[in-house]
Structures are given as C-alpha cells and as structure tokens.
Structure 1
C-alpha cells in the first residue's frame, strides 16, 4: 500500500531534483502523478534526510526507492534509511540480492527484471539495461501524461538500446564523468584505474555525453542535468561547454556533490 503523500506538487506536473552526484554519493528525487520516488541512496542517511527536507521533501512521503545498481556511491545510505522509512525498494533481482547480502535486510523489496516497466498510480517507470561494471545496472525513463524524464547514471558507452529508450524524453539526467585530456593527465590514478574509467563498462566522458545529447535533441530534449562529474578529471564549465557545443538550444546545468541542484520542472 502506498504511503500518504505530503506536500506533493499538483498531480499533472513532473519535476526532479538531484540531491547530490559524484563519486562520494548519488541520489535524486522524481515526482509526478502524485508519486514521489528516491532514485539511488548513495549519500549517508543523514545527508539524504537533511537534503530532502531542505528541498521541501518529507522523507516519510516517499513511495519507493529505485536502485540503478549496487555500487556504494549509489546505495551507501540505504541500510540506515530503510530502518526509518516504510517505502519499498525497487531493484533488479541480482542488484537486490547483493544489496540485501550487504546488510539491507529491513527493506520491503519490489523486484523487476532489467528492461521491464511498471506503473505507480499515474507514473510509468521503464527500466533499461546499461553497460557498467556492476552486476545488473539499469537506467530509467519516467513518463506521466505528455511529460517524460530520463535518468542515465554510470554507463561505459551509449548503446542502441539506450538511444531507443531515451529518444523523446524532454529532460535528462546523465553522467559526464571525465574530460579525456584531464583523465589522461591525471597523476593520482594508476593506469589500470584510468583504463577502467574509460572502458566500455566504465563511465561516460564529456564527449560521449555530448554525442548522446546531439542524438536526442531533435526528438524534443530541452533540459539536461550533467552528473557524476569527477573532481579531478572534469569541471562543470568544461562539461557544460562540451555539451552546449553539440546543441546550443538545450538548457544545461551540472549537479554537484555537496549540495542539491534545485528543482527542475
């Protein structure tokens, strides 16, 4: 049974907010059709609660938590958060198994197959497989009436399936993890780590994300939030400029690790 909504926006609108994004933790909230969902819980439980409250979100009003994959920067706060919240956790079978085994044993689980879609009242959620070095990673497209929002987190490269699923969304959260030149010049990371980051199961570069935006723009994409920016191998100015160069008419901003990015309608 869905918990009662509190201070939700009108049911005909859709909006989202990134609570924080980066290697230190990732989380976002999506609202539409009277439904409020937390996507990933990679910040500490205290940070998640504090940032939701500061953004006008009562954590008790969440209807569910969706997981993209099991890495710590996407599930770090889940165990503690679930001790206080009744909301179910939505995940693929393999992701749920690993997260449960890590100690998240008080949650109510809603399992869906990678690529499956499901309805929560008037909100449609469509999952799709993505290439990343996790057990069963997925992205999501949220649709409500004529509005749609895509969320593509950690991804090594853009597949035809990703393009097909995201085509037609009007807003998108997508990672732009690194700048090629900055990653190559970085002295902190060993060569093996750089290879993993830039591999086909690692993360998207600014250039790869810009190419994706250029593909999606003609089908109605108008707003983009770039996330998961590396502190050492990227910067918001460079990332945003690279994307805008591919399609100047799109509104672009960069999510930050240490604060929310503000609501996007």
Structure 2
C-alpha cells in the first residue's frame, strides 16, 4: 500500500510520512525530534525504520527536529545541493525550494508548500496526481487586518516568494481540473491569519463551481496527525529510484 499521513502542518512545524510496505520516508522534519518520534509511533512506525528524509527547503519550520533525529537513528537526509549547503545554519529565505511528485504503483501524490505562486511547469508536473498536498497559508482579509505583522512582512507573505492564500490555492486546484485529482489536503495554515474552516470553505466552493464536489478535501493541523490516507497499491521496491536520482544528495 502507498499511503500518506500528515504528522503536523502549520506555521510552527511541518512533517509528513509517505510510505509503502517496503519504504518509509519523511517529507520535512519541522517538529521537535521528540514529537517526530511520538507521532511516527502513532502511525506504527519506529524512527529507525525510516529510509530517509526529503527536504522541501531549509527553513526552521521544516527542519528543526532533523539534526537530533537523523543523528540518533542514522537516517539520511536527501535534498538538492543548494539546500544541503544552507541547512545549517538556517538563513532567512529559502535558497532553492522544492515540490515533490511521488508515483508508486497505482497511486500518485503531489506535494507543494511554501511558494508564492505556481508556475506552468509545476501545474504540468502535478496534472497526473490523484492526491495533492498544497498550502493554504492565509486568508487575504485576515492577513490585511492583522495588527501584529508589520506591512513589510505582509508584503513578503503575499509576494511571489511568500505563501499561497486560500484563494490562490483554490485557483491552482482549478488549473488541475479536470485532471486526475481525487483528494486534496490543505496545509501550512497560519495560526493568526487563517482557520481550517475558511480554508476548507474556499477550496470546496471553488471545486463546486467547477462541478467537482466529488473531490475530497481535508485540512492538516499543527498539533495532531491526520488519518492515514490510502494513495494506491504498490509493489516491492517503490520509491527506490527516487533515492538513486542524481538530483538528490545527502545533507552533511
């Protein structure tokens, strides 16, 4: 079986378990090492069973638990070259952020967070996926009315190097239609400038407008794991080509 479990997703930490019967990987490790271990155990997975960690980028809310976790349990980290150079210490802006598309057996999964806009190339790479993890970071009105963030921070969040709003994410999903999309998981919600209710409402209304009320929409949260989502059926050896791919290298 090819499955996805979101261990936690939000402004303070992000991590997901992507697994088959023969391979178990984390996408990011932005929770404490203790929380990563505890949440993996809730999924029936021991940390020493992990085959690796894929990094989307080097920001603290995606890597903060990895140094301890990977050293203690000898888990390799896979990322592109620029991210490997920048992982420790953590700079302010991501140097070369990544999204992922996993294809194994009968299932396919797209994974995009922490991006200010979606290019045509990204849309084409995601078009074949059945399950999509996408950030819905903020509600535009809540962000504009937020009194705790200075204007330059708001500008950065809304910029092409910032984060997707609920409406922007809904627009991306619309671009993937009719496509093969069957399930959407919303993630990386701001604690101050969004709510699960707003994010779900925006995306579901967009899908309804397109006549796709059949697409299941879920929202990942910061403090608890999601149910295990069954992505598809796999055969022995799924994901191994990913780790042999020359675009990935172990971070020091």
User: TM tier, shorter chain?
Assistant: 0.7 to 0.9
In the alignment, is residue 170 of structure 1 matched against residue 130 of structure 2? Answer: yes
Q: Distance in 2 between matches of 1:72 and 1:26?
A: 9
Structure-1 residue corresponding to 2:215: 250
Structure-1 residue corresponding to 2:140: 180
Structure-2 residue corresponding to 1:53: 41
**Structure 1 residue runs without a partner (length 5+):** 1-12, 104-131
- How big is the shift at 1:153? 1.1
Q: Distance in 2 between matches of 1:46 and 1:264?
A: 23
Q: Please point out which of 216, 219, 222 is paired with 2:176.
A: 216
Structure-2 residue corresponding to 1:225: 185
The alignment partner of 1:219 has SS state of: coil
Contact residue 59 and residue 93 of structure 2 kept, 8 A: no
TM (norm. structure 1) is 0.82
- How big is the shift at 1:33? 6.0
Matches within 5 A, 1:121-136: 133-136=93-96
**Structure 2 residue runs without a partner (length 5+):** 208-212, 231-252
Structure-1 residue corresponding to 2:163: 203
Structure-2 residue corresponding to 1:261: 226
Contact residue 155 and residue 203 of structure 1 kept, 8 A: yes
Matches within 5 A, 1:10-25: 13-25=1-13
Structure-1 residue corresponding to 2:235: none
The alignment partner of 2:83 has SS state of: helix
Q: Distance in 2 between matches of 1:33 and 1:52?
A: 15
Deviation digits for residues 21-77 of structure 1 (CA, Å, limit 9, x no counterpart):
111110000013621101101000000001110121111111110000000000000
Contact residue 173 and residue 224 of structure 1 kept, 8 A: yes
Q: Distance in 1 between matches of 2:157 and 2:40?
A: 30
The alignment partner of 2:177 has SS state of: helix
Structure-2 residue corresponding to 1:146: 106
Contact residue 66 and residue 91 of structure 1 kept, 8 A: yes
- How big is the shift at 1:226? 0.3
What is the number of residues matched between the two proteins? 224
The alignment partner of 2:99 has SS state of: strand
Contact residue 33 and residue 144 of structure 1 kept, 8 A: no
Structure-2 residue corresponding to 1:68: 56
The alignment partner of 2:229 has SS state of: coil
In the alignment, is residue 37 of structure 1 matched against residue 2 of structure 2? Answer: no
Q: Distance in 2 between matches of 1:15 and 1:218?
A: 23
- How big is the shift at 1:256? 0.4
- How big is the shift at 1:179? 0.6
Structure-1 residue corresponding to 2:210: none
Contact residue 133 and residue 202 of structure 1 kept, 8 A: no
TM (norm. structure 2) is 0.86
Choose between structure 1 and 2 for higher RCO, CA contacts under 8 A separated by at least 6 residues. 2
Q: Distance in 2 between matches of 1:98 and 1:84?
A: 21
Structure-2 residue corresponding to 1:159: 119
Off by >3 Å, runs of 4+ in structure 1: none
In the alignment, is residue 235 of structure 1 matched against residue 195 of structure 2? Answer: yes
